[in-house]
């Protein structure tokens, strides 16, 4: 489902001007998930 998420993100970025903000949020989310995965 990662590829689907990426395609949706690209569509959103093409429409909205918050490309940098979305990248920042995705970066934090990925780091958060990786930390939780290591914790569990």
HEC string for 1-40: CHHHHHHHHHHHHHHCCCHHHHHHHHHHHHHHHHHHHHHC
Contact 6, 23 (CB under 8 A): no
Higher pLDDT, 36 or 18: 36
pLDDT tens profile 4-26: 777 877 776 666 667 778 788 88
Dist CA 4 CA 29 (whole Å): 16
pLDDT above 60 for 38? yes
Burial 6-23 (b: 16+ CB within 10 A, else e): eeeeeeeeeeeeeeeeee
């Amino acid at each position: 489902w990662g590829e689907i998420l990426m395609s949706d993100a690209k569509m959103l970025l093409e429409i909205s001007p918050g490309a940098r903000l979305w990248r920042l949020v995705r970066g934090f989310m990925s780091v958060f998930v990786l930390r939780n995965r290591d914790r569990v």
